[in-house]
Amino acid sequence: TLDGGRIGIAAQALGIAQGAYEAALNYSKERIQFNAPICQNQGVSFKLADMATRLRAARFLVYSAAELKQEHQEYGMESAMAKMYASDAAVSITNDALQIFGGTGYLKGMDVERFYRDAKITTIYEGTNEIQRVVIASHITDKMSVAKHGGAPKQNVAITGARKKQIFKDGTPEEQVAALVQALKDDGYDFTVGIPLDTPISDAERVVSAGKGIGEKANMKLIEDLARQAGAAVGSSRPVAETLQYVPIDRYVGMSGQKFNGNLYIACGISGAVQHLKGIRNATTIVAININAGAPIFKNCDYGIVGDVKVILPLLAKALNNGQPKKPAPPMVKMKRPLILKDMPEGRYVCKGCGYEYNPDLGDPDADVKPGTKFQDLPEDWVCPLCNSAKTEFVPVK
């Protein structure tokens, strides 16, 4: 929320600075001193040059951060940079603008006087600029410590934790679907029961989710048909709900949306943006169906089929159809994820309940566990951040 809000504050600061600059520029062309406009005075013209340069730099920082957010990429550091620089620039530019106006600009009711007052608050709210520097420094020093000082390497574990990553490639689409259904049944999923399609995401035991890869809105019927046969609720990625508006905004799953904590999550045409993956990392089983074999979702799933959703989804719905109406599902019982250690760095500790890996280089800030704290030194009452399993439920990776 703060990362996104900082782009808005940066844009506000940019607007204030633009208004102050334009007012000062126009005034400097009209104000005559010593038989010439004051803009011809070198001291004033240099101020205007600096103001225009800071304004342009701030604008590009704001637009860059906004573009990253719009594309659903990581933008925390860039939004902090934009907010810090644009607000500092706004204070500097409005200060110079008032100086150009002289005593006139200080009068209550003058536009430049209000610009001067309004600029200051942009350095304070949505995180002071001192905090922005903390945010920026935390990003760049973490990277520097790894690249230059032999710090801990970035863990080679999927965002959603250790997963089976079993991609069904052999045979026809029908055979691939049959293998997927059999694997899900072997894992204990009962497809004779179901829940309403509009069950809240956070309460749903199963969800079938649509991504931009499903194409036109008419293909949402494929999602709904599959959800009925899988006994699941309907969800979506953020662009499908927010940009395409195929489903209500409360149906989108992701870090900034609804978080899925149930058992089975079927991602259809979802490429696997970071913010989406963070919203489903508590899922017991993730199934990916996407035509792009290189999509990140396949590195974060248990089972996957590389194929056209318009072909795979009807086949999967048919394979899950037992010819009878779904019986109401009993209250959800959270299924345990299988413990997969092959992707885990040696010496780390992993939760048997959900596969969460405790990383001593990161600690657990939400539980006031500082970075650098070894697993053995964790408080005895510390629990897994994802599933609340006790410390005794963690096993070492050998």
Residues in contact with 32: Cβ distance below 8 Å, sequence separation at least 6, in sequence order: 38
Residue 330: its pLDDT value, please?
A: 95
Local structure of 366: helix, strand or coil: helix
CB 229 within 8 A of CB 320: yes
Q: For the chain, where are the alpha helices, taking DSSP H only?
A: 2-30, 42-70, 76-101, 111-121, 129-148, 173-186, 220-230, 238-242, 274-280, 309-320
> Six-digit token pair at 283?
């899922």
The H or E element spanning position 327 is strand 327-328
Residue with structure tokens 């899988």? 230
Do strands 193-194 and 327-328 pair parallel, antiparallel, or not at all (unpaired)? Answer: parallel
Count of CA atoms in the C-beta half-sphere (13 A) of 393: 19
CB 268 within 8 A of CB 287: no
Local structure of 273: helix, strand or coil: coil
Residues in contact with 340: Cβ distance below 8 Å, sequence separation at least 6, in sequence order: 162, 163, 164, 355
> Six-digit token pair at 79?
């939004």
Local structure of 383: helix, strand or coil: strand
Residues in contact with 62: Cβ distance below 8 Å, sequence separation at least 6, in sequence order: 7, 10, 11, 14, 82, 86
Residue 32: its pLDDT value, please?
A: 87
What are φ and ψ of residue 395, in 5° steps?
A: -125, 150
Residue 145: its pLDDT value, please?
A: 44
Distance between alpha carbon 167 and the CA centroid of its chain, in Å?
26
Dihedral over alpha carbons 237, 240, 242, 245 (to 10 degrees): -150
In this structure, the number of other CB atoms found within 10 A of the CB of residue 45 comes to 13
Q: pLDDT tens digits for 108-134?
A: 778 888 899 999 999 999 889 999 999
Distance CA 59, CA 66 (A): 11
CB 231 within 8 A of CB 193: yes
Distance between alpha carbon 54 and the CA centroid of its chain, in Å?
30
Residue 18: its pLDDT value, please?
A: 96
Distance CA 53, CA 41 (A): 18
CB 350 within 8 A of CB 394: yes
Local structure of 133: helix, strand or coil: helix
Greatest Cα-to-Cα distance within the chain, rounded to the nearest angstrom = 94
Residue 142: its pLDDT value, please?
A: 60
The DSSP 8-state label assigned to residue 330 in this structure reads P
Residue 140: its pLDDT value, please?
A: 82
Below-70 pLDDT ranges, the chain: 142-157, 341-346, 353-354
CB 365 within 8 A of CB 138: no
